[in-house]
A = this chain, B = another copy of it.
Amino acid sequence: MLLEIVRSTGLSHLSYFLGDGNEAAVIDPRRDYDIYLDIATREGLRITRIFETHRNEDYVIGSQALASATGAEIYHGRAIGFGYGNSVGDEDSFDFGNVRLRVLETPGHTFESISIALYDQAFGDDAVAVFTGDTLFIGDVGRADFFPDRAHEVAGLLYDSIFQKILPLGDQAILYPAHGAGSVCGSGMASREFSTLGYERRLNPRLQLDRDAFITSKVNEHHYYIPYFKRMEQLNQEGAGEFNALPRPRALTADQLAEHQKVGGLVLDTRDPEAIAGSFIPGSFAIPLHMVPAFAGWYLPYDRDIALLLRRDDEVEQAVRLLVRLGYDRISGFLAGGMMAWQTSGRHYDDVTAVHVDTLLKRINSGADYTLLDVRSLNEFKQGHLPDAQPIYVGELAERITEVSKTRPVTTFCGSGQRAIIAAALLKQHGIEQVEICLGSMQACKAVGCSVINEQAA
């Protein structure tokens, strides 16, 4: 019995390839599905079943594409109507080799969410593991904020699914969720990728609450709903269709990139913050590569051609994979030779000055007239921020741009400097000229021992 975890970084999405005998099942496949075929070929297995733990909202699921390539059947929960595949429920189970997969209906995160218990028929009747989708994570539970009108109801469903369906499988069952730490689908997850129901039952902070406290805590949680979720939900319910091959963006000269911009194409700069700060192309969007999955969906439009500016040209495929998982297929080119190609073309570039946190502290003490724009999430902000910082979450910055003073210099600030560069580029796009960035941001603050304002403690 082979179980291989396939990680999609950035989204922290975990999919699973489970094989035995001559067959295999894939749980929550990603859209660029070649990796599952590679495993199947290597192991001499045939993929015959695909399971979706729920209608995912944060990426395009690859079920239809993978089914088309393999002839496999697709299975998902029956609480909503899907435009493809088969609906299953508590009474369903699937056997191959020594594997038995048993469906558990576990609504809460969404109504059609299912979990899948895994049994090894060579041993016995206790579950050896359970795939919990977005219902139960390592150290956390799933979001339950997608149905604000029925907030209490779904929080209660989530509690019941965990306590009446999942935990009863036994302490011995290993936990395989659909996301690891860093996902937008939960917070407070462990950095660890391995746990069991027993461990979670005893030590997951969420599971120490009684039903009412659990519901209250879930109802009071704050999560961001990223605009592209809507598109993902629709695609994943109707069916995203086949996916033939990764787009192959073409090499562009600086002239061609400029022309691309001129005719409405956008430039996505995925370099590191200090490189962007050192020199960037006016008008470009900036998202350091590993943050593309988490932030592209906030503001990258689907109806414009994308040209990439990369740390190294050989990152093209990786960038393309990150984008197609979110449904961005119009990736037409990349600037060959990177930023130097732009610089040597004589075209104008812009920069953002880096400001050390010590300088911020001096400014605070001296009452300097500038905006310290803290682009972290509301939760992070409340847990500790610098005095006089203005909070606007990076994801909402574009739509709340008018809240930023255009007459004062702005210094962007976040956890480490990564989101701050996204924000800095957005400010520049919107005509704010005097922009600085605090590289290191709150982590540097803590390292040097800033005093911060904690609104939660208050």
Residues of A within 8 A of B (CB): 1, 3, 20, 22, 37, 40-46, 69-71, 98, 120, 122-124, 126, 128-129, 139, 170-174, 190-199, 201-203, 244-245, 248, 250-253, 271-279, 311-314, 316-317, 336-341, 343-349, 351, 353-354, 356-358, 416-418, 439-441, 443-448
Residues of chain B within 8 A (CB-CB) of A340 are 272-273, 416-418, 439-440
Residues of chain B within 8 A (CB-CB) of A198 are 126, 170-173, 196, 198
User: A123 contacts B444, CB within 8 Å?
Assistant: no
| Whole-angstrom CA separation of A253 from B275 in the bound complex | 21
| Whole-angstrom CA separation of A42 from B334 in the bound complex | 11
| Whole-angstrom CA separation of A418 from B197 in the bound complex | 41
A282 to chain B, nearest CB (A): 11
Q: How many copies does the complex hold?
A: 4
User: A351 contacts B354, CB within 8 Å?
Assistant: yes
4 tightest A-B CB contacts, nearest first: A172-B198, A44-B336, A278-B278, A346-B447
What residue of chain B has the Cβ atom nearest to residue A444's Cβ?
A: B346
A187 to chain B, nearest CB (A): 14
User: Contacts A172-B202, A354-B349; is A251 near B195 (CB within 8 Å)?
Assistant: no
| Whole-angstrom CA separation of A69 from B246 in the bound complex | 11
User: B439 contacts A349, CB within 8 Å?
Assistant: yes
Residues of chain B within 8 A (CB-CB) of A41 are 248, 251, 313-314, 316-317
A–B complex contacts, Cβ < 8 Å, 24 sampled: A37-B248, A40-B250, A42-B314, A44-B336, A44-B337, A45-B336, A46-B251, A123-B199, A124-B203, A171-B196, A172-B202, A198-B198, A244-B245, A245-B245, A271-B275, A272-B340, A274-B275, A274-B279, A274-B339, A276-B278, A340-B416, A340-B439, A346-B357, A346-B447
Which of B199, B349, B446 is within 8 Å of A356, CB to CB? B349
What residue of chain B has the Cβ atom nearest to residue A289's Cβ?
A: B312
| Whole-angstrom CA separation of A133 from B446 in the bound complex | 41
What residue of chain B has the Cβ atom nearest to residue A45's Cβ?
A: B251
Pick from A122, A198, A253, A339 the residue with the most CB of B within 10 Å: A198
| Whole-angstrom CA separation of A92 from B198 in the bound complex | 26
Pick from A45, A126, A344, A351 the residue with the most CB of B within 10 Å: A344
A447 to chain B, nearest CB (A): 3
| Whole-angstrom CA separation of A245 from B69 in the bound complex | 11
Pick from A277, A340, A343, A447 the residue with the most CB of B within 10 Å: A343
A159 to chain B, nearest CB (A): 20
User: B174 contacts A201, CB within 8 Å?
Assistant: no
A376 to chain B, nearest CB (A): 14
A170 to chain B, nearest CB (A): 7
User: A339 contacts B69, CB within 8 Å?
Assistant: no
| Whole-angstrom CA separation of A196 from B70 in the bound complex | 33
A122-B190, A123-B139, A349-B439 provided; 16 other pairs, C-beta below 8 A? A1-B190, A3-B192, A3-B193, A44-B336, A128-B196, A171-B171, A174-B174, A198-B198, A271-B275, A272-B339, A275-B275, A311-B311, A343-B417, A344-B444, A346-B446, A351-B353
